[in-house]
Amino acid sequence: MKFLGNKKAVLPIAIAAAFAIGQQPASAQGLFDMLFGGGIRHDPQGEFPPPPKPRKIRPGALDGEGGGARISSPTYNTYRADKLVRVDFKSLLSAPPPATAQDAAFVPSVTSTAFRDAVAGLSDYELFAEPDIAKALIAYYSANPDFIWVSDNVPNSRAQDAVRVLGEAASYGLTPADYSVDIPAAATSATPEERTRELVRFEMALSARVLRYAHDAQSGRVDPNRMTGYYDFPAKPFDLEGALKTMAHTQEVRTYLESRHPQNPEYQALRVELEALEASEENEIVVDPKLLLKPGESSPELPKLLTLIARNLDDDMGGSYGEVLARLGKSEVYEPELVPVIKAVQQREGMKGDGVIGPRTVALLAGASKADRIGKVKVALEELRWLPSDLGSPRVFINQPAFTASYIDNGEEKLKTRAVIGRVTNQTAFFYNQIKQVDFHPYWGVPQSIIVNEMLPRLRSDPGYLDRAGYEVTDSRGRQIPSSEVDWGAYGSKIPFNVRQQPSEANALGELKILFPNKHAIYMHDTPQKSFFARDMRALSHGCIRLQDPRGMAAAVLGTSVDDIAEKLKHGHSTENVTRVIPVYVAYFTAWPDMSGKVEYFDDVYGRDSKLMQALDATEAVRTPSS
C-alpha cells in the first residue's frame, strides 16, 4: 500500500496509510480516535455556573505558503501581579463633603468629629495597596468619615478580632505577612497629636489589609486566567466598600471574614490536612522516588518499601502475605514470591497491578516528602478559591490528575469512573460549567485545530479521503459538499469548512457524549479505545474527557437507569436535554479529599503546580515592600 501524501505532511506514515484508498473507515477512525478526540465548538451559555466572557484566542501563525499552517495550543505565561499604588489621601484632607454626598446609611457618631480632625495625620502617610483597594478606601471614608477600628482612642474589639483572623492566615494556606498590621500600644507616652496620627494610620492600614484578606479568601491571590489559556474562570465580584460597611456595623468581624473562604467540606478537609502535615514529622523512611525494579532485579531501596507495606497491612493482606513479608522483608532481591504482594498492593491503590515497582508505586506507598505534600495542599486551597463556594449538588467532578470523573449527590459519590484526559501536548482546560444535554450515537464535529494541524497536510495531496473515511464536509451555510471538490491547498490556519464524522461503531465519540457547552470544545464521551482505561497514566486524548462508564454517567445526569440508556441507544441518533441544574467541574487538583475527607495525592501530569507557585511568588514579591 503506497502512501501518496506530501513529503512535508506531519502525520506519521502509519496513520496516513490507514487512510489510503481502499482502507475501511472503521480502521481509519480507530487511528484518528487514538490520536485526536475533540468536539464541536459551542458558545458559552447557561445559568450555573456563570460563564466567563469569551476572550480572543490567538490564531496559529501561517509559516509561509504550502503546509506550514498550524493552530497553536494555549501557552503558559510568566505571571505578573498588579503593582501596588500609594493610597492618595488628598480628598480626605480637603473640606468635608456636604451631607448629601455622604453614604445614605452613614450615621455620624461621637467619634466622627475626631476622625475628621485625625485625617490630617495622613498627609505624609505612605500606605500601599492594590489599585481597587486604594480606590475603595477613599470612596468609603469619603462617604463614611468615621473610625471602624478605633473607639475611645484605642483599637476596639472589632480591630482585635480582625487582627487575630489576619494572624491565622497560615491555617488557610495564606501568608500572614501579606496582612500584617502594627497595633498601637494601649499605653503610650506620645502626645495627643502623635497618638491621633498613630490611630488614624492604623485605621487605614487595617482596612486595607482586611480588604486584601477578604478578597484573597474569596477569589484567591492570583488571577488564574492570566497564567494560561488553559485556565478559564469567571470573575467573582466583590464589593470592597460594602465589605467595610458591613464590618463597621457588626461586632461579628471574625464570622464575616471567615465566611469569605469557600464553605465546602473539601476546603475544610484540606485545611485539616495542612494542619496535620505541619505538625507531623518528616517520613523516617524515604524511598528513592525514581526507583524502577522488575522481578529478579535487586536494589537497597526494596527493604524500605517492604517495611512500609508491612506497616500498613490490613487483615486480608496480612493473612495472605504476612508470612512472605516477615521472611523476605529485608531482601534486596525482588524475589518471585514478592511479586504477588506488590501486585495486590498496586491493585488496592487503584493501579492495574503489573508487579513492576516504578515511581508511581513508590509515590503511592512511600508518599511524597512532607514539603511536597504541604505544597500540593496549599496549591489546592488556592485553586478551590477560584471555584464557587458551594460546589452544588448534584454535580459532576472530574479531577484530571486522578484520571477520574464522579457524580456526587447529597454528599454521596453515586458514581466514580476512570477517565482519559488530554495529552501533555493537548491539555485539558481547567474550568467549570453546567451540563446541558446527552447525545446518543453522536456526530463528531472535528475541531479546527485537528483539521488544520492533522488533516490538512493529507488533504492537500488527497482531497477525497474524508469522503472515503465517513466524514461530512459542510460550508459556512451548512451545505454539504464532497471533500474531493475542495481546494484544500488554498487555505492556511483558517478553514471555512466544518468537518464531522457520522454516527457509527467507529465514531471517535463511541455511543454517546455528554455536553456542557464551552469555548474549549470539551465534553465527556464514550470511546472505542477501551484499552486506555487499563493504563495508570491516562493523559492520552486530544483534550476531551473519555469515560470508562459513559452509560452510568449519562444515566446519572439524566436521572434515569442504565437500562433506560441502553434502550435509548437502540433507536439511533437522538438528543436529550438535562432538565436539572448540574454543575460540572473539569478540575485539576494534585491534592484532593475523598468523600470521607482523606486527602489523596496525585502526579502533576501537566506541571501546573509549579506554574501556580511561580504566580504566588510573583504576587508575594509585589506585596513585600507594602507598608
DSSP-assigned states of every residue in 95-146 = PPPPGGGS-TT----TTHHHHHHHGGGGTT---EE-HHHHHHHHHHHHHS-S
pLDDT tens digits, one per residue of 210-238: 999 999 999 999 999 999 999 999 999 99
Q: How far apart are CA 347 and CA 519, in angstroms?
A: 37
Say yes or no to pLDDT of 397 above 60.
yes
pLDDT at 365: 80
Confidence of residue 47 (pLDDT cuts 50, 70, 90): very low
- Classified as helix, coil or strand, 362 is helix
In the chain, what are the domain boundaries? Answer: 13-30+62-74+448-501, 85-261, 394-443+503-608
Is residue 338 within 8 A of residue 345, CB to CB? The reply is no
pLDDT tens digits, one per residue of 146-191: 999 999 999 999 999 999 999 999 999 999 999 999 999 876 677 8
pLDDT at 525: 97
Q: How far apart are CA 183 and CA 198, in angstroms?
A: 9
pLDDT at 381: 98
DSSP-assigned states of every residue in 258-320 = HHTS--SHHHHHHHHHHHHHHHSPPPSS---TT--B-TT-B-TTHHHHHHHHHHT--HHHHHH
pLDDT tens digits, one per residue of 556-609: 999 999 999 999 999 999 999 999 999 999 999 999 999 999 999 999 999 999
pLDDT at 111: 62
Written as nine digits, the cell of 607 is 506541571
CA angle 578, 580, 584 (to 5 degrees): 80
Dmax over CA atoms of the chain, in Å, equals 96
Say yes or no to pLDDT of 100 above 70.
no
- Classified as helix, coil or strand, 404 is strand
- Rounded to two decimals, the pTM is 0.79
Beta bridge partners, 395, equal: 408
- Phi, psi angles (nearest 5°) of residue 25: -55, -35
pLDDT tens digits, one per residue of 281-321: 777 788 888 899 999 999 999 999 998 888 877 777 777 88
**Residue for grid cell 470544545:** 521
Written as nine digits, the cell of 502 is 457520522
Is residue 532 within 8 A of residue 30, CB to CB? The reply is no
Question: In the chain, pLDDT over 90 holds for what percent of residues?
Answer: 63
Q: How far apart are CA 396 and CA 398, in angstroms?
A: 7
Task: Report the CATH superfamily, name and number, of domain 394-443+503-608.
Answer: L,D-transpeptidase catalytic domain-like (2.40.440.10)
* Average pLDDT over the chain, rounded to an integer: 85
Q: How far apart are CA 166 and CA 222, in angstroms?
A: 18
Is residue 429 within 8 A of residue 522, CB to CB? The reply is yes
pLDDT at 71: 77
Q: How far apart are CA 92 and CA 325, in angstroms?
A: 75
> What's the 3-state SS for 551-566?
HHHHHHHHCCCHHHHH
pLDDT at 108: 57
Give the length of the chain: 627
Is residue 512 within 8 A of residue 550, CB to CB? The reply is yes
pLDDT at 501: 87
